[in-house]
Amino acid sequence: MLLLLTTILVGLCFLKSQLVSAAGTSFTMGIDQPTNQIEKNTNYFNLLVKPKQEQTLTIVLKNLVNKPNKITVTPVSAYTNNNGIIDYKTNITSAKTAAKYQWADLVSPNSVTIEVPANSTRNINFTLKVPNDTFSGLIDGGFRATSTSDAVTTQAKKGLNIKNKYAMIIGATVQMSKDYVSPELKLNDIQPALVANTTTLLANIENTKPSLFGKMTIDAKVTRRGSDKVLHSAKRTNLSMAPLSNFNYQIDWGREQFKNGKYTLYLTAKSGSKTWKFTRNFTIAAASAEKVNKKAVNLKKPNYWWIWLLLGLLLLILIILLIIWKRRKKDDDDEPKAEESKSTLKETKDTPDPDKNSKPTDN
């Protein structure tokens, strides 16, 4: 299992030093600034270019240890990961970017490995080939460097070895104009899903412009459609987005099962003076909810105590009504008997006594 710990240096950061390093690494990494560099006091490539331009980009590596150090440098393209942070890898799928050109496709070779002698400095050259046609905004990417000397293996539980590999990334951007292109956000699909085996609502957010930006705050709330009661919410700060990229903003469902029905998402994103507000109705289908719920781990069990309480109260009311009904029925049954008894008694009283009414006879 490889755990990649990465120090990312991107165009958003205006760094003063010309060589950078990360704690735990055995080398530093810098650039040899070309003449078409826009920002001079930085340690990343920020280049103003023309169509069909071709130039050499030089990476400077310094070995900090007392033994030879094998270092690999790879061109990488920028995208936005699902944590809402600009990240880098060699190949970005079309599902994650709408960019026509990717940085890694414009730079060759696709990887260089060099052994730097102890306490020495070496340069690596790459060739940048600018597209033939013009483009607006910028193309974002960088160079990732790793060293075999920095790989540290630690043992985790159950005998699993975890290999910690440190990496550094120096950012790189190319643009054909210094004019700033303002970012624009778009809200795409909303769907239930699993993130780390827990129920999570994903709202796909897309930067539709060829510009990168950061310091973004997103605040999202979900309600039942037509209700003001907030069921779930998620707020995150210090997010960033690469040009023409998208990511799935995660709204934790609180370990609860998804329930099919109609919902509304209210989402607000802010970066600098820009604010985007979205209100979107969406529906969770029964099949989608069931599919996700079956695979979820550690879901909260539904609390049915109120149902049992209600059933208990209903049962108690039924028992009381039954008792009242039986008593009334008994009273109704006893009433005719009492009347009959009274009538019989009256008849008995009204009947004359033959002995009392008989006259004495003369002998």
pLDDT band at 268 (very low <50, low <70, confident <90, very high): very high
Q: Are 132 and 79 in contact (CB under 8 A)?
A: no
With 70 as the cut, is the pLDDT of residue 351 above it? no
Question: Which domains are present in the chain?
Answer: 2-175 (2.60.40.10), 185-295 (2.60.40.10)
With 50 as the cut, is the pLDDT of residue 318 above it? yes
Q: What is the pLDDT of residue 156?
A: 55
What residue type is 180 in one-letter code? Y
pLDDT digits (tens, 9 = 90+) for 174-224: 999 999 999 999 999 999 999 999 999 999 999 999 999 999 999 999 999
SS (H, E, C) the chain: CEEEEEEEECCCCCCCCCEECCCCCCEEEEEECCCCECCCCCCCEEEECCCCCEEEEEEEEEECCCCCEEEEEEEEEEEECCCCCEEEECCCCCCCECCCCCHHHHEECCCEEEEECCCCEEEEEEEEECCCCCCCCEEEEEEEEEEHHHCEEEECHHHCEEEEEEEEEEEEEEECCCCCCCCCEEEEEEEEEEECCEEEEEEEEEECCCCCEEEEEEEEEEEECCCCCEEEEEEEEEEEECCCEEEEEEEECCCCCCCCEEEEEEEEEEECCEEEEEEEEEEECHHHHHHHHHHCCCCCCCCCHHHHHHHHHHHHHHHHHHHHHHHHHHHHHHHHHHHHHHHHHHHHHHCCCHHHHCCCCCC
With 90 as the cut, is the pLDDT of residue 324 above it? no
pLDDT digits (tens, 9 = 90+) for 234-255: 999 999 999 999 999 999 999 9
Higher pLDDT, 173 or 347: 173
The chain-wide mean pLDDT, for the chain, equals 86
With 60 as the cut, is the pLDDT of residue 8 above it? no
Q: Are 239 and 218 in contact (CB under 8 A)?
A: yes
Higher pLDDT, 5 or 144: 144
pLDDT digits (tens, 9 = 90+) for 85-114: 999 999 999 999 999 999 999 999 999 999
Q: What is the pLDDT of residue 3?
A: 34
Evaluate if pTM is beyond 0.85.
no
pLDDT band at 322 (very low <50, low <70, confident <90, very high): confident
How far apart CA 169 and CA 144 sit, in angstroms, is: 4
Q: Are 70 and 113 in contact (CB under 8 A)?
A: yes
Q: Give the neighbor-by-neighbor strand order of the sheet with 246-252.
A: 185-195, 198-207, 246-252
Q: What is the pLDDT of residue 29?
A: 95
pLDDT digits (tens, 9 = 90+) for 107-137: 999 999 999 999 999 999 999 999 999 999 9
* Lowest mean per-residue pLDDT among 24-33, 65-74, 210-219, 299-308: 299-308
pLDDT band at 148 (very low <50, low <70, confident <90, very high): confident
pLDDT band at 14 (very low <50, low <70, confident <90, very high): very low
Work out the average pLDDT over 259-280.
98
Q: What angle do CA 215, 174, 37 make, to 5 degrees?
A: 95
- Residue 62: closest CA among 39, 31, 34: 31
Q: Are 53 and 130 in contact (CB under 8 A)?
A: yes
* Lowest mean per-residue pLDDT among 10-14, 334-338, 349-353: 10-14
Work out the average pLDDT over 40-56.
96
